[in-house]
Amino acid sequence: MAKLGPAGYSPYPVSVTEGVLTPPPGKALMFNEIVDEEVAMREAAKAMLTRENPTIFPGPQVLYAWNEEAKRKAKFVRKMAEVLGAKIIPMYDYRPKYPKIDPEKEINPNHPNLTIWHNKIKACIFIGVHCHYANVALKIIRAETDCFTIAMCSMAGHEDAMITLRDQHSEDLEKFIRIAEEVKRELGK
Amino acid sequence: MSVKIFKINEDLKEFMPQEIVDLEEKATWGNPKRGVMDLPYSKELIEEHSLCAGCPESAAFRYILASLPNPEDTVIVNSTGCTSLVFPHIALHTVHPLFGNQNSVASGIKRVLEWRFPDKVKDVVVIAGDGATIDIGLDCTLQSFFRQEKITTICFDNEVYANTGGQDSGATPKGMEFKMAPGGKQWDKVPMWQLAIDSGCHYVARLSVSSPKKVEQVVKKAIYVAREVGPTYIHLYTPCILEIGLNADQGLWEMRQRDKERFKFFEYMTDEAKEVIKRKKEEGLL
């Protein structure tokens, strides 16, 4: 593994330069290791429960009620925030905002670091953000902040997040909430 | 596209900024009778713009976006210029291709949409400046007319390359001087509306944006005709007040002056276009 970067991960802007790729189906990626999904979920929950100002960034795929799965996921995101004691700051679309965003209320993929700096967020979960914008935002966050990033992706995952959970659908979110509750109890919170 | 895409999940609604909630609740989706008269009461599809204060292009944007009969199923193809800074801010699908090839890209999008969604109405509208439409992209513009592509092309004519400091364009009138063209334009303004007619457009209009209602009418006519018949073209005068040395509050005055001369309202339609327009009027959509 390369030298530690700002968030204790890597100083390189793109993790594929170090050969880090998305995990195979059924597995998760934790830093540069392929691990079982449950292991990654526990670590993700621990990061969110122990770091300052944990925040969930829901993207359009869960913010808008465009199908039944999105409606179910929205409920779980809400529940997840309650369990993790996390704030919710939406990434509702990908338009650049002129003259600037309100970092207390929103996050934009083109400069996600502003929201993270402003709110001093040390751990976050990306969920429901379309892959191409999640990729951009996660790279910027990785390079510019010391925030621990967790990507809960319904597709192949994001190697630039510190923990990547792939193929995450509503039943997986339910499982994550259950694990988060366990970790919370273990931590005595 | 389904209008559902704008419906916010109730569980997360309280976290959304007010302007996004307004976009769901107060924008005029799914209503072909929408128009500029809704502007004071409804949520606009443009949140903010990054143009200069008082820029007539910003007015044109507002009127056009308020007039699209089918915004939820409209794709806008734009091009390089002042306007390209605004497109990312609007709440519609927009595509920014290479400088000048906007009509080629729009042709491809329209064909694919017709193939992919044969039972749905999908409008493709090109909005580009005079440089993109008349100079750099003239080939692509005219070829799309020759091919009878079912797209609407709207040219924002400010008669100059304003974004790069004031070079003369094909749309600059003869003799007009700009900062980067101190000798004055040597040739006549390209009569793009006439080229559009000669190249096979079924509906052509030339006007300034001094009259919002008139802009609404021509935009709707052009889109309805493009849907059923073939290419349509609108030539709009949107002066660059900065480059011609006017104040922020003088754009409307400038357009009204030109309404009497080189941007006097002009409209052309083929017999097929007339039929569509007549039918749409009977349906109360115009």
Q: What is the pLDDT of residue A172?
A: 96
Q: A141-182: per-residue pLDDT in tens?
A: 888 888 999 999 999 999 889 999 999 999 999 999 999 999
The two structure tokens encoding residue A148: 């621990």
Distance from CA of B90 to the nearest CA of A (A): 8
Largest CA distance in chain A: 45
Of A75, A99, A106, the CB nearest to B17: A106
User: What was the ipTM of the complex prediction?
Assistant: 0.90
Q: What is the pLDDT of residue B84?
A: 84
Residue % of chain B over a pLDDT of 90: 86
Q: Hey, of A89, A97, A127, which one would you mutate to test binding to chain B, going by the most B CBs within 10 A of its CB?
A: A97
**B20:A96 CB<8 A:** no
Q: In what order do the strands lie in the sheet with B203-208?
A: B93-95, B74-78, B123-129, B152-157, B232-237, B203-208, B266-269
Chain A / chain B CB contacts < 8 angstroms? 69
Looking up residue B71, the CATH number of its domain turns out to be 3.40.50.970
For residue B89, give the chain A residue with the closest CA.
Answer: A95
For B242-257, what is the mean pLDDT?
94
Q: What angle do CA A11, A17, A21 make, to 5 degrees?
A: 105
Per-residue pLDDT averaged across B5-25, rounded?
A: 91
β-strands B266-269, B232-237: how paired? unpaired
Distance in Å, alpha carbon of B166 to nearest chain A alpha carbon: 25
| Cβ-nearest to A74 among B5, B12, B47 | B12
Tell me the average pLDDT across A95-115: 88
Distances (CA, A) of A113 to A89, A109, A125, B66, B170: 13, 9, 14, 34, 43
Band (pLDDT 50/70/90 cuts) for residue B2 is low
Q: Return the pLDDT at B79.
A: 93
pLDDT at B50: 84
Per-residue confidence at B6, pLDDT binned at 50, 70, 90? confident
**pLDDT at residue A3, rounded to an integer:** 39
Alpha helices in chain A (DSSP H): 37-50, 60-63, 68-84, 112-119, 131-144, 170-186
Domains of chain A, start order: 37-186 (3.40.50.1220)
Residue B156, CB half-sphere, CA atoms under 13 Å: how many? 27
Q: Could you give the percent of chain B with pLDDT greater than 70?
A: 98
CA-to-CA separations, B186 to A138, B73, B171, in angstroms, rounded: 52, 43, 12
Task: Tell me whether B9 touches chain A (CB under 8 Å).
Answer: yes
Q: Which residues of B touch A97 (CB under 8 A)?
A: 47-48, 89
What is the average pLDDT value for chain B, to the nearest integer? 94
* pLDDT 10s digits, A65-76: 999 999 999 999
Q: What is the pLDDT of residue B41?
A: 92
Give me the pLDDT at residue A4, please.
Answer: 40
User: Looking at residue B83, what is its pLDDT?
Assistant: 84
The per-residue pLDDT for range B163-182, each reduced to its tens digit, is 888 999 999 999 999 999 99
Split into its structural domains, chain B has a count of: 1
pLDDT of A36 reads 97
Domain containing B168 equals 3-282
Query: Is residue B116 within 8 angstroms of chain A, CB to CB?
Result: no
**Token pair listed for B207:** 């006007």
Closest residue to A63, CB basis, from B16, B49, B91: B16
pLDDT at B82: 86
Determine the Cα–Cα distance for residues B117 and B81; give it in Å rounded to an integer. 31
A45 vs A60: CA distance, rounded Å: 23
